[in-house]
Amino acid sequence: MVYFMTEILIQNGGTRLTCPKCGNYKKNMIREVDDRDHIINDYPVIYGKKYICGVCGSEWRWEKQE
């Protein structure tokens, strides 16, 4: 099995999802996937979300400020 460690970027706060690398904010150009390296809850297993930019291919997490 090949496992790629992808460098993950963090978007801090903000009111809308924005690619931290290229600034893309178009929803139809951003893919939301389960982040299997980031488990929020063990049982039942709930994964965090990460986002993949359709423009530059970066992956990032959105750390929402509460």
> What is the binding site for Zn ion (CB under 5 A)?
19, 21-22, 24, 53, 55-56, 58
Which residue lies nearer to Zn ion by CB, 40 or 56?
Answer: 56
Which residue lies nearer to Zn ion by CB, 32 or 46?
Answer: 32
**Least Å distance between CB 15 and Zn ion?**
18
What is the phi/psi pair of residue 19, to 5°?
Answer: -60, 120
Q: Rounded distance, CA 22 to CA 45, Å?
A: 32
**Least Å distance between CB 54 and Zn ion?**
8
Neighbouring-strand partners of residue 63: 12
